[in-house]
A and B are shown apart, each in its own frame.
Chain A
Amino acid sequence: MSATVVVIAELVDGHLSGATREAIGVARSIPDATIVGFAAGSAAPSAAAEFGRFGIARAFAAPDPRLDTGYPAAVARSAASAATGAGASVVVVGGTTFGRDLAGRLAVAWNAAAATGVTELAAVEGGLRVRRPVFGGRATETRRLEGARAVVAPRPHAFAVPPESPANCSVETLPPADLGPLAEPKRTAMESAAAGSGPGLTDAAIVVAGGRGVRGPENFHLIEELAASLGAAVGASRAVTDAGWRPTSFQVGQTGRTVSPQLYIAVGISGAIQHIVGMVSSRVIVAINSDNSAPIFRVADYGIAGDLFQIVPALTAEIRRVRGLG
């Protein structure tokens, strides 16, 4: 039996975001799935047509300017209409703040079971089976989503982005939804994350984080230069943010952000449990620390015991060399 899977787009500058491409990868992992796209907001018709780049032949567009802010509660109404119109059994959203906010809303609006942070999924008799890390990556649970409908959000970077295979995508336009009280909230301002690495931290494929071993804010450029050579986000331990060397938005850990990049490089971080729970589910962990008995080496895959003030500049230079950055 083939399932129809609707992928909800998230737009960046009017185009399908990286998280949306990953969501298409999630849909592709369901055998024999017929994938249907959905996009909302003024740019929806052209964005919906972009699903064609991934071989998706059908998409819905809700070209409603009231949905331009990507406010999940309002998008849920149109997304539910698209899912019902497509006869879908699964809806996939991106593993982002938008996707996760939307998932709960949509579970009720579309009468479905839901799971977020999913790293594996399989179609089983009477529903979907999902695996997902819980307790800050200290355990993994397998859940069965029972019923005819499921909403799924992946954990960032858990699914491969599919290669492009262009096809024509026919776009169906949805009428504006009745938003009722959901039309009341207004977005009054947006602050770009470009200045800090705060929110970028949670969706970066590589994170380089600095700890107390960096010794002071004047040395943090070593972390930033290594991150720049890799196109990585910059993170920090609580010791660093508590000392004010970097803002709290940089903090990785129990009281900060939880990250699960492909590669996490911990520099001068001893590895307090507080920090570990925020990064332990990263795919590959590298630790650089002067103390070879530091607990960080117990959770890391690869370690370099040594002086970070020597190792890090050498590593940055080597990465720049192999990447042809001079």
Chain B
Amino acid sequence: MEIVVCVKPVPEADTRLRVSADGRTVDPENVKFVLAGYDESAVEQALLLKEANPGSKVRAIAYGPAPRTEEVLRAALALGCDEAIWVEASGDAASDPVSAARALGPSVGGLPHDLVLCGKQAGDDESGLFAGALGELIGAPSFGYVTDLRWDAGAGRFRFQRAAEAGAERWESPAPIVVGLQQAWNDPRTAKLPAILKSRKAPIARAPAPPAPGDAPASRPEKFELPPPRTGAKMIDYATPEEAAQKLVKILREEAKVFP
């Protein structure tokens, strides 16, 4: 099976977020960008499917600026991806998931692909737009919120579950498909030291970003804000549990106005 996994560098989960000097984005200074969250699950699932289907190949691809994008591609190689392709982004372009799909579309479409995997949403913008946009661009069915993704070689079909509000849906589809993954079969693996060392010297293929037409619709960041620090809860004084309950219900009704 030919698998392409799309990854995005995002700030490490426990990063203390700061606003950039121009006020438009998160400040990338002193931030460690990593392969994380659902993208990590997507890589894990790609490797599990490769192991389950001998002869498979996993290619990792990413769109973004230097050096962070190259670093997450090396992380993907260290985990066991066979090849890495980097499409360099300039300016804010990579912050728009639809623009990212447009930039990666020609490269992904040009690679052999039975399955294109990405996380159901990126760890920073949490948009969940990429899989659908990429699917439309390469003319393949796309599914977000996918779990339990399996390849039934006999039937020549992927079988998977999609988590929707009304309940879990079971789907099947022939290849190729684009999947926004919610969960891999197991927790993501960690890279072994020799693999990490080897990945530092591994070649990363460069692919050009297609020129965006001047009037292409896109979204651009204007402002990045951190919430005012929470001042802490207003604690309810009470003598009996009943009094606590009455006071809380009164507050929720009259002050917070959230009570049905």
Residues in B whose Cβ lies below 8 Å from that of A300: 232-233
- On whether the beta carbons of B168 and A191 are closer than 8 Å, the reply is yes
B227-255 contact mask (Cβ, 8 Å, vs A): 1 or 0? 10010111110101110111011011100
A245 contacts chain B at the CB level, 8 A cutoff: no
Q: A104-B98, A108-B133, A145-B219 are in contact. Are A192 and B246 (CB under 8 A)?
A: no
Among the 9-residue stretches A32-40, A160-168, A180-188, the one with 4 or more Cβ atoms under 8 Å from chain B is: A180-188
- On whether the beta carbons of B141 and A303 are closer than 8 Å, the reply is no
Q: A101-B143, A139-B26, A190-B168 are in contact. Are A134 and B233 (CB under 8 A)?
A: no
- On whether the beta carbons of B135 and A105 are closer than 8 Å, the reply is yes
Q: Which of A97, A105, A297, A314 contacts B145 (CB 8 A)?
A: A97
Residues in A whose Cβ lies below 8 Å from that of B172: 185-186, 188
Name the residue on A nearest B133 (C-beta): A104
CA distance in complex: A129, B223 (Å): 11
Among the 9-residue stretches B1-9, B54-62, B106-114, B123-131, the one with 4 or more Cβ atoms under 8 Å from chain A is: B123-131
Name the residue on A nearest B216 (C-beta): A147
CA distance in complex: A193, B140 (Å): 29
Consensus secondary structure, chain A interface: mixed
> Tally of A-B residue pairs with Cβ under 8 A?
290
Number of interface residues of B (CB under 8 A): 84
- On whether the beta carbons of A181 and B139 are closer than 8 Å, the reply is yes
CA distance in complex: A262, B225 (Å): 22
- On whether the beta carbons of A114 and B128 are closer than 8 Å, the reply is no
- On whether the beta carbons of B217 and A150 are closer than 8 Å, the reply is yes
- On whether the beta carbons of B167 and A114 are closer than 8 Å, the reply is no
Q: Which of A73, A143, A202 contacts B220 (CB 8 A)?
A: A143
Residues in A whose Cβ lies below 8 Å from that of B235: 292, 297, 302-305
Residues in B whose Cβ lies below 8 Å from that of A263: 252, 256, 258-259
Residues in B whose Cβ lies below 8 Å from that of A72: 132, 142, 144
- On whether the beta carbons of A113 and B136 are closer than 8 Å, the reply is no
- On whether the beta carbons of A135 and B17 are closer than 8 Å, the reply is yes
A112 contacts chain B at the CB level, 8 A cutoff: yes
- On whether the beta carbons of B248 and A73 are closer than 8 Å, the reply is no
Q: Which of B26, B126, B232 contacts A297 (CB 8 A)?
A: B232
Q: Which of B127, B222, B251, B259 contacts A116 (CB 8 A)?
A: B127
Residues in B whose Cβ lies below 8 Å from that of A202: 165
CA distance in complex: A92, B144 (Å): 19
> Within B114-168, which residues are at the interface with A (CB < 8 Å)?
123-137, 139-145, 159, 162-168
Of listed A192, A302, A303, residue having the most chain B CB within 10 A = A302
- On whether the beta carbons of A144 and B140 are closer than 8 Å, the reply is no
Residues in B whose Cβ lies below 8 Å from that of A221: none
Q: Which of B125, B132, B236 contacts A134 (CB 8 A)?
A: B125
- On whether the beta carbons of A116 and B128 are closer than 8 Å, the reply is yes
B194 contacts chain A at the CB level, 8 A cutoff: no
Among the 9-residue stretches A1-9, A41-49, A283-291, the one with 4 or more Cβ atoms under 8 Å from chain B is: A283-291
Measured between C-beta atoms, what is the minimum distance from A198 to chain B in Å?
Answer: 8
Measured between C-beta atoms, what is the minimum distance from B108 to chain A in Å?
Answer: 13
Residues in B whose Cβ lies below 8 Å from that of A298: 230, 232-233
Q: A108-B136, A117-B126, A135-B124 are in contact. Are A317 and B245 (CB under 8 A)?
A: yes
CA distance in complex: A304, B32 (Å): 38
- B contacts, CB < 8 Å to A: 11, 13-14, 17, 25-26, 96-98, 101-102, 123-137, 139-145, 159, 162-174, 177, 180, 215-227, 230, 232-236, 238, 240-242, 244-246, 248-249, 251-253, 256, 258-260
A-B contact pairs, 14 of them (CB 8 A): A12-B166, A73-B141, A108-B102, A108-B136, A112-B217, A129-B222, A140-B224, A141-B25, A146-B220, A284-B258, A297-B235, A314-B242, A315-B241, A318-B245
- A contacts, CB < 8 Å to B: 12, 19, 69, 72-73, 76, 96-98, 100-109, 111-117, 129-130, 133-136, 138-150, 180-182, 184-194, 198-200, 202-203, 206, 230-231, 254, 258, 262-263, 273, 283-287, 292, 297-307, 310-311, 313-315, 317-319, 322-323
Q: What are the 8 A-B residue pairs with the smallest beta carbon separation, nearest first?
A: A104-B132, A147-B217, A303-B233, A185-B173, A104-B129, A105-B132, A108-B136, A314-B241
